[in-house]
Chains A and B, each alone.
Chain A
Amino acid sequence: MSNPKKPHVTVMRSQLSRARGLGSGQAGVGHWWAERASAVALVPLSGWFVIQVFRLAGASQPEVAKWGARPFNTTMMLSLVILTFYHTQLGLQVIIDDYVHGKAHLPAGLLMKGIVFLLGLFGTVSVLKLALAGSSRSTIAAG
């Protein structure tokens, strides 16, 4: 980055190592980009959520239900929950890759992904339930 005009070598690997299929070049780059992309998406979502926490601090359940029934809030909450747990899964995988070696590596990763997936799904169902229960209640009240 110090000298952008200097031409840089795009392929660091030798042609021999490419032919042998050794070294990196599996899922690493995709994982890295997914981590960054989800982090960037979480920046505005977190900002929105902080504002909502201020709006809801000390609120009662009917107030929260009314808030959660608004389609925009439902959309933002679902995005926040899904991206948070997606980003969590990516981050925890890096930690497992760093510290868990040998036979335990694969089951540790799968167990972690299973738990995080269930948590994310639980959050998604909760947000949807809040949204749908709130809207059906309001239609009953209106009709």
Chain B
Amino acid sequence: MSPHLQVYRFRLSMFLSIANRAAGVAAAGGSALGLCWISAAAKGPKSFSKVQKVTGNPLGQMLMAGWALALVYHFVAGLRHLAWDSGYRFSKKEINEDGPVAVGVTLGTTAALVAGIVGVAICRSRKKAS
């Protein structure tokens, strides 16, 4: 543990900082699983239908939504880091202002992405069925 973590009052920035690291690890794990998709597509229709069973399953979809959340948050936090490294929005006040915005943007973008992708997939499978 870093020295006396418990003596500090909780700040959103602390959580967002460690969450960025955790999201990076989760995004990497998800990307490793994502390789299953591309390798199955390369292998052939049989393997691909196996992967589609996972992606069509509610548990698989929750996993993918989690992957999307991790990727989107790591992306948003990464953009903040690039801004900070360039000398923008790096005052204490600005960092505190932008934290909740980052949370909102992450949740909104993830929800929109997940809903959009699921919607497109459902539309396509209905078209095929009819």
Contacts and interface: CB of A to CB of B under 8 A. Distances in A.
Contact of B121 (A57, A62, A64, A65): A57
A58 B122 contact: yes
A91 B25 CA distance: 8
Given A88-B31, A129-B43, A130-B41, 14 more contacts: A50-B113, A54-B116, A60-B128, A61-B44, A61-B48, A65-B41, A68-B38, A81-B35, A91-B24, A91-B25, A119-B35, A123-B35, A123-B38, A126-B41
Contacts of A60: 45, 48, 128
Interface residues of B, number: 36
Contacts of A50: 113
B42 A58 contact: no
Contact of B45 (A36, A43, A62, A129): A62
Interface in B1-31: 21, 24-25, 28, 31
